[in-house]
Every structure is written in structure tokens, then in C-alpha cells.
Structure 1
Amino acid sequence: MNRWLVTIVLLIGSAILNHWIPFSSFFRNLDTMVHEFGHALATLLVSGRVQSISLFANHSGVTYSLITAGWRVVPVSLAGYVTASLFSVYLFYTYSRGRLGQGLLVCSIIAAICLLLFVRNSFGMAWIAGFMVVNAVMMLLPIRWLQKGYYLLVAFVSLEESVVGPIGLTVMALNNPAQAGDATGLQAATGVPAAAWGLAFSIVALLCARSAIGHFLGRRGRRGRSRRAGGSRPGYGGPGQPSVERFRID
């Protein structure tokens, strides 16, 4: 079957199943956390300062940063959706290599960094603490099938959210470009319409989803071949000073 068709079918199936599985909603904030972590990391890379990150119960988030006005706005605004999409690929890549513990450990490390350095609102701190506890329990459990099921739940929820988010952003940019989050910021910085940025994010997300599903199917294919072979297995400075803006980045 065509890889794109398989990707779309699995994404739709994942969206349906994830809304039926109890407690799956809890893990939707993982994509939000990684998204905001991407903004924070990009801010630091362009010599800015991260003031705080907030995560909310409706699976939204916001990063407050201080960066010098100009081109630096672009990479910081781009980083959120791109980081979340690439992270979904990473989760399925580690799954394809059988490194479930490594994938869960990286999730916990990112969560710990966010909790220690960036997240300051009460819900965000409570969610991260709870997520780290659940992750630790699943990493220590010797029940492989349960660990695998948990890992796939986390991976597929993250994958679904990484695709649905940019598509929703594109719809918002078409209907209300002034309220389209990162796409609105990029429009202000570059002059390119917010809808075009939303579409670009969506394309990146779908390409990453195709890659992630490729890793997932590759793992299943290798297992099948192994069995057949018998194996197992904002403010501004004055004249002469740099202009600095305070940004809210969704």
C-alpha cells in the first residue's frame, strides 16, 4: 500500500483509538511541552532569555522570551512545531530499534529540564511531575508487553498531536490570521502570510509523520522476517542600544 495512504489511515485510526483509550488525554501535553521546549531552546541558541513556560489543562502552552528584535524572531517562532514533529520521529525511531527505555528516558529528561528551568504555572508543574512519575514506573516495570503498549500510546498520541496542531493552526490562520500563534508572529517578522506558515508547518508535520510510520512499519517488518527465519526477537532600547522585544510564543 502507498506509504502516504498508510500514514493517513494510521493517523486517523490513532486519533479515533486515542479518544477511546482511558487517560490518553493526559499524554497530549507531552507534545505541548516539547513544542514549548523547542521555543525555549531556540531562544537560548540566539542568545535570548527564557522568562517562563506555561502548560495548560486544555493542552495549550505559551513561552515568554526576551530576544533582540530582528531575524532572531524567525528561528524562535519556527522551532516549536518543527521540534514537536521531529520528536515524534525520534520516538518511533527508538521504537524501531527496540530502545523503549531510551525513548522514555529522553522524555523524562526534557520534562525535568522544563520543570527545573522554565515551567512555573501550577498546572504545568503538577503535570510534569505526574508524567515523570508514570514514566519512571513504566521504565522500571519488568513487564515488557505493558511497557511496549505504554510506549506506543505515548508515541502515537505525540504523533497525532504533532500533525493536528499545525493543521489547526492553518485553519486558524485562514480564518483569523491575527490569532494564529506562531504563524502570526512569523507573518509580522517576514511579511509572509500566516496561512502560508501554517501550511509549511503542516507539510513538515506530515513528512515527519510519514517518516515515523516508516520506522513503525519497519520494526514490524523486521519482526516478521525474524520469525520466518526462526529467530525472535515588548520594549525597545534607546539610541545606540540593541532593540529588545518581549515575546509571547504559543
Structure 2
Amino acid sequence: MKAFTDKISGKSFLFLILAVILTQIPILGSYVSVINTVIHESGHAFIALLGGDVERISLFMNTEGVTYSRQSTWAGSFFTSMAGYVFSSFMAFLSFLLIGKKQYKILIVILLGFIVLNLVFWVRNIYGLFWLISFGAAFLFLLAKGSQSFVNNVLLLIASVLLVDSVKSAFDIMYISLITPKSAGDAANLAILTGIIPVQVWGILFFIQAIWFSYIGLKKGIFKLGK
């Protein structure tokens, strides 16, 4: 364990701890965590568009979200159901990878791209619109007024929140799949679609991929920051 933590810069480790604490604060924590919900639901939407249509996305104050889409094929439904957790885990990995390479501007463009796409095309419920407008405006203000070091710290905090929430949400769906399988959302949908692979297996797979993406994200991201 000591060899592991020694590779991580004190600053990066601090931001991960800060993200864990921040996401547990009532109201504020949920507000910040919606960034992961936006990524998750956008993953569903992007894949749905490859073979179907996206009607709308709803974002809620409790960090839950729903993507309403129509699929014409079994494969479309299958990959759309898989996309949410995998996409949010991949985005956490990509965020740390870009930070490790000091590609802050690219990460800014990606994050703003998610906000703009959802605001223009998909999100129509009141809280969802409030979140996109307020978070987007605050993000732009920080970019315009904040120093480069401050902006970099904000991006590291967002990346940390994405990593923490991608793992937490994947763990939650695994736990739900083991305790109340019919309520396991995407895992339950995949079990129905495949027929032979039980919901518990999908829940476990979602958690494993989240851990894997987190590991390689940390390895290629904050390990480099600590050098």
C-alpha cells in the first residue's frame, strides 16, 4: 500500500479525498455529482444515435438520470444499455489521461461539449436545464476569470469527481443487482436482452470495468503528476 501511495503526488491524492468528501455533502454534493450523470446519459444517447433516435434526457437532483430513446434492432438496445457505465468510466480515465499530459484545453472543450449538446438537443426537464445552465455558466466564468493554475485545479477536481462517482455508481448497480435484481436498471435490461446472462453478472462486470478504467486512469494520469 505504501508503494502505491508513494507514487501519487500529495496534491493529486488530496483532490481524490476532497472529491469523496464533496460528493457526500447534502445538496452541493449531489449538484456536483450530476456531471457524472450527464456523462453517463450522454453515453446512452451517443450509442442510441448510431441505430435509433434519442427523444430526450432527464437529469434529477438526486443524481439520477434517464435517457429516452428508440431502437430498431436488438444490437442497438444491447449496446445502448451497456454504454452508460462504460462511458462514464472511460471519461474518468480520459480526464486523468489528458491532465497527466497537461492537455487542459482539450478537456475543457470536451466538458463544455457535453454541456452544450445536452442543453441544445436532449435535456428538457426543469432541473436538468437549471443544472446545465448554472454549471456551464460557472465553468465559463472560472475559465474567463481564473488563473491558469486555478483552472487546472478545477479540472483536477472535476476529474476526481468523475472517477469517484463512476466507481461508486458502478458499485451501487452491482449491489442492487445482488440484492434486488429487478431494480438494477441497465444491468436488468441487459439480462432481459441476453436471456442467458443473469443480472448479477452484468452488475459485477460494470463494477470491474469501472475499477479497471480507474486504475489505468490513475496510472497514466496522477502517477505522472507525481513525477
Q: Compute the TM-score of the two structures, normalised by the length of structure 2.
A: 0.88
Matched, 1:164 2:162: no
Amino acid at match of 1:88: A
8 Å Cα contact 2:181/2:188 also seen in 1: yes
- Structure 1 residue 156 displacement after superposition: 0.6
- Specify the alignment match of 2:57 in structure 1: 53
- Specify the alignment match of 1:219 in structure 2: 225
For residues 16 and 30 of structure 1, do their structure 2 counterparts lie closer, same or farther at Cα, with a shift above 3 Å needed? closer
The sequence identity of aligned pairs, in percent, is 27
Which consecutive residues of structure 1, in runs of 5 or more, have no partner in the other structure? 222-250
Matched, 1:36 2:31: no
> More deviation in 168-177 or 211-220?
211-220
- Specify the alignment match of 1:119 in structure 2: 123
Matched, 1:95 2:99: yes
For residues 90 and 153 of structure 1, do their structure 2 counterparts lie closer, same or farther at Cα, with a shift above 3 Å needed? same
CA deviation profile, 1:44-101 (whole Å, cap 9, x unmatched): 11x2111110000000000111112423211010000001000011111111122223
RMSD of aligned residue pairs (Cα, Å): 2.4
More helix by share: 2
8 Å Cα contact 1:141/1:147 also seen in 2: no
CA deviation profile, 1:197-249 (whole Å, cap 9, x unmatched): 0111111100110111111111221xxxxxxxxxxxxxxxxxxxxxxxxxxxx
8 Å Cα contact 1:115/1:125 also seen in 2: yes
Amino acid at match of 2:189: G
For residues 72 and 61 of structure 1, do their structure 2 counterparts lie closer, same or farther at Cα, with a shift above 3 Å needed? same
Distance 1:116 1:16 in 2: 31
Q: Give the one of 77, 83, 94 matched to 2:81.
A: 77
- Structure 1 residue 13 displacement after superposition: 3.1
For residues 204 and 13 of structure 1, do their structure 2 counterparts lie closer, same or farther at Cα, with a shift above 3 Å needed? same
For residues 55 and 149 of structure 1, do their structure 2 counterparts lie closer, same or farther at Cα, with a shift above 3 Å needed? same
